A = this chain, B = another copy of it.
Amino acid sequence: MKLSEKSQLCSLSPMRKFTPYAMAAEAAGKKIYKLNIGQPDIETPPEFFEAVRGFSQKVLAYANSQGTEFMLDAVVDYYHRIGVDYSKEDILITTGGSEALQILFLCILDPGSEVIVPEPFYSSYNTFIKASGGVIRPMATIPEEDYNYAKPEALEALINEKTRAIAIINPHNPTGNVLTRDELRSIADVAKKHDLYLICDEVYREFVYDTDDVLCAGSMRDVDENVVVIDSVSKRFSACGARIGMLISRNKALMAEALKFCQGRLCTTTLEQVGAAALYRVGPEYFEKVRDEYRLRRDLCYAKLSAIPGVVCAKPMGAFYVMAKLPIDNADTFMKWMLTDFEDHGETVMCSPAAGFYATPGRGTNEIRIAYVLKEEDLSRALDLLALGIERYNNR
């Protein structure tokens, strides 16, 4: 029984592949501080659950393939409020930002097509791009430069006849890098010059901690044909389990193509769109409060990490992740050991080994990604456990 080449090129998720070990550890009574997945402990706004409970139709019917009218309206309104002018025709509601990326790559990649992606990058890009037969052309970034990738010449040097797109995540998962307005503009100019799609994953848009000098890619109206925005309610409203995302572009040919795949899979969940539309009614005070909380966690996380002997990391400017190089041989071995062999007072910590966030073989093997998604007290304990784990692992 044959398996496909593309699926054999894919890997389990670095965030999720140790789940079986975690479940075994938990079953044995161990408490695990989970910093491996971007699953915040921040409460989902109650508006979501209220709207869902208020759903009174007797038949849970299919939604429209492009998304329900009320959900599309909610997204258009949200963008208007942040100064970006989209119409409903520019938006397709998807099953998480994940499906938006899957559909997009199906639309634009042929076997061997290349996508330029600054690395490290959110690991699922690997799966989505390979599933479409595409290849990631990584652009290396380093912590010493805050993982900056706004280098037009370096990006241009990676372009060849197979290049279809430049994909950026802003604010960045997993590095926390945030582009200034000028930096984003400089990258858009490269995409425009070379007639490439500019994929802008902005799911962490509201989580920027030290500056207001940021720009939504949808504001740059001279690159309407190039820009594709990936968005989601998962992080914005701490509603990861809703699986509501969106593919947004003013490129009509692309959106017509994407609708084929949307119709093929019929629709996104009806009830979750009811809940998600209600989320967009929460006001700016919600974002301020959440941003303050994450800023606090960011500061704590960075301070404690930096204090561990031998750790190298850059202070993240946005999102809720930090990459860290650890003074260990191999992060995969280490993180598995932390689940199976380590404990302190019955507790341990789970992070994501970072090799899966790189496309270049050999990079990231002694790095981890930490999601600072737990409240201060838990985060502090988790980082102490990490420090203790590193020490014991190296003396084992």
Contacts and interface: CB of A to CB of B under 8 A. Distances in A.
B110 A4 contact: yes
A254 B61 CA distance: 32
Interface in A82-124: 95-96, 98-99, 102, 106-111, 113, 124
A271 B43 contact: no
Interface in A260-291: 260-261, 263-272, 275
B43 A259 contact: no
B195 A1 contact: yes
26 contacts: A1-B197, A1-B253, A2-B108, A3-B254, A3-B257, A4-B132, A7-B107, A10-B261, A13-B260, A16-B65, A16-B266, A19-B65, A43-B58, A49-B55, A52-B52, A60-B240, A62-B240, A95-B95, A95-B99, A96-B265, A96-B266, A98-B264, A99-B265, A124-B265, A127-B265, A241-B267
A149 B225 CA distance: 47
A44 interface: yes
Contact of A4 (B53, B99, B106, B267): B106
Contacts of A53: 52-53
Interface of A: 1-8, 10-13, 15-17, 19, 37, 39-44, 48-49, 52-53, 55, 58-65, 95-96, 98-99, 102, 106-111, 113, 124, 126-128, 131-133, 164, 195-197, 225-226, 238-243, 251, 253-254, 257, 259-261, 263-272, 275
B131 A133 contact: no
A269 B272 contact: yes
A260 B126 CA distance: 11
Nearest to A237: B60
A113 to B, nearest CB: 8
